[in-house]
Amino acid sequence: MKVNKRAKRDAKQLFHLCLVNRLLAENRVRHVVQRVVTAGRRDGPAILSHFRRLLRLDRARHTAIIESVTVVPADVQAAIEAGLMRRYGPHVTTTFAYRPALIAGVRIQVGSDVYDGSVQARLTALEKSF
Find the shortest distance in angstroms from Cβ 64 to other proteins.
9
Nearer to other proteins, 33 or 55 (CB): 55
Residue 6 or residue 31: which is nearer to other proteins going by CB? 6
Q: Please, which residue, 36 or 118, has the CB nearer to other proteins?
A: 118
Which among 74, 81, 28, 79 has a CA at the least distance from the CA of 51?
Answer: 28
Rg of the chain on CA atoms, in Å: 19
Binding region for other proteins (CB under 8 A): 12, 53-54, 57, 68-70, 72-73, 76, 79-80, 82-84, 86-87, 100, 103-109, 111-127, 129-130
Q: Do 93 and 63 meet the contact criterion of CB atoms below 8 Å apart? A: yes
Closest to 70 in 3D by CA, of 126, 19, 119? 119
